[in-house]
Amino acid sequence: MSQRKKLRELPALQGPLPRFDTDAVPAEPVALFERWLDEAIAAGVPEPHAMTVSTVDAGGYPDARVVILKDVDASGWAFASSRSSAKGAELAHRPWAALTFYWPLQGRQVRVRGPVITGTAEQSAADFLARHPHSRAVVFSGPQSQPLPSRETFERALIEAQRRVAEEPDLVAPEWTVYTVQADQVEFWQGHPHRMHTRLRYRRRADGLWERELLWP
Ligand SMILES: Cc1cc2nc3c(=O)[nH]c(=O)nc-3n(C[C@H](O)[C@H](O)[C@H](O)COP(=O)(O)O)c2cc1C
């Protein structure tokens, strides 16, 4: 079977999918995001806290990757990564990002856009120390996203890093950074099996309050 035919036959947004009553939503998007996240967790969506983070480099060339959502509250959507990574360099040049969540069991997508704030050293250290020792050792092993000469180079560096983490459990990697996307736009997208999707976008006004509008599917 051709790839085209195989892909065409794969189902998407089959349903049954929930109805989205856009008249019964909170005045600001974080509360609705938390409601949808709780529903994704309750429905058993695998890794519902995984999200795609999109950035652009200094030349405007886009980039995207999946990371884990670490926190969400009125200050924004937080994730953590190494400042030495590609995304770290991109955010240093252009501190804006877009986040995309997809929860297939409910046919729901959430899109978040906004400026990115770099966390304090204390916030980043707290996140780092909450990570499993294996994950901390990987950060110490070498600079994320830089070219790696061989798998053996990584494995040798990892053994040394694991030894350091075991000897100094409070050691913090200085490049580890919490980034928070301070949303100025959040779109909630509820898929529909017949493609009559419902789209609701929140936009932050200059006075800090949020306005809402429906979008054509
Ligand atoms: C489910 C999942 C979760 C991930 N979580 C993180 C994370 O929290 N932080 C991180 O730096 N990379 C995470 N990664 C790896 C990133 O996708 C990416 O490979 C890495 O951050 C380097 O990206 P960059 O070169 O664009 O900076 C995760 C990948 C997957 C598939």
> What's the pLDDT tens digit per position in 109-146?
999 999 999 999 999 999 999 999 999 999 999 999 99
Averaged pLDDT for residues 196-207 = 97
The reply to whether the predicted model has a pTM over 0.95 is yes
Tokens representing residue 14 in the block: 């089959």
Closest CA to 116 of 203, 180, 172, 187: 180
Q: Omega before 133 cis (within 30°)? A: no
**Separation between Cα atoms, residue 2 and residue 10, nearest integer Å:** 13
Local structure of residue 120 (DSSP, 8 states): P
In a domain, 208, yes or no: yes
Alpha helices by DSSP H, the chain: 3-9, 29-43, 86-93, 121-129, 133-141, 151-167
Q: Work out which ligand 1 atom sits closest to the CA atom of 86.
A: 27
pLDDT score recorded for residue 17: 96
Measuring from atom 24 of ligand 1, which residue has the nearest CA? 86
In a domain, 145, yes or no: no
User: Tokens 């419902």 map to which residue?
Assistant: 198
Q: Omega before 143 cis (within 30°)? A: no
Confidence class for position 165, pLDDT limits 50, 70, 90: very high
Residue 113: give the domain boundaries.
21-120+178-215
Local structure of residue 109 (DSSP, 8 states): E
Angle between helices 121-129 and 133-141 (to 10 degrees): 120
In a domain, 2, yes or no: no
Q: Taking all residues of the chain, what is their mean pLDDT, rounded to a whole number?
A: 97
**Separation between Cα atoms, residue 14 and residue 106, nearest integer Å:** 10
In the chain, how many domains are there?
Answer: 1
pLDDT of 46 over the 90 cut? yes
* Secondary structure in 3-state letters for 20-56: CCCCCCCCCHHHHHHHHHHHHHHHCCCCCCEEEEEEE
In a domain, 172, yes or no: no
Tell me, using a 6 A CB cutoff, whether residue 157 lines ligand 1: no
pLDDT score recorded for residue 52: 99
Confidence class for position 81, pLDDT limits 50, 70, 90: very high
Averaged pLDDT for residues 185-211 = 97
Do 212 and 200 touch, CB atoms closer than 8 A? yes
pLDDT score recorded for residue 47: 98
**Separation between Cα atoms, residue 9 and residue 11, nearest integer Å:** 6
The amino acid sitting at 67 is: V
Confidence class for position 30, pLDDT limits 50, 70, 90: very high
**Separation between Cα atoms, residue 111 and residue 19, nearest integer Å:** 19
Measuring from atom 18 of ligand 1, which residue has the nearest CA? 65
With a CB cutoff of 8 Å and minimum separation 6, the contacts of 216 are 199
Domain of 183, CATH number, reads 2.30.110.10
pLDDT of 58 over the 90 cut? yes
Q: Of 45, 54, 81, which is best to mutate to test ligand 1, by the most ligand atoms within 8 angstroms of its C-beta?
A: 81
Confidence class for position 108, pLDDT limits 50, 70, 90: very high
In a domain, 139, yes or no: no
Averaged pLDDT for residues 176-188 = 98
pLDDT of 162 over the 90 cut? yes
The amino acid sitting at 167 is: E
Confidence class for position 15, pLDDT limits 50, 70, 90: confident
**Separation between Cα atoms, residue 174 and residue 128, nearest integer Å:** 10
pLDDT score recorded for residue 200: 98
Helix (H) or strand (E) holding 58: none
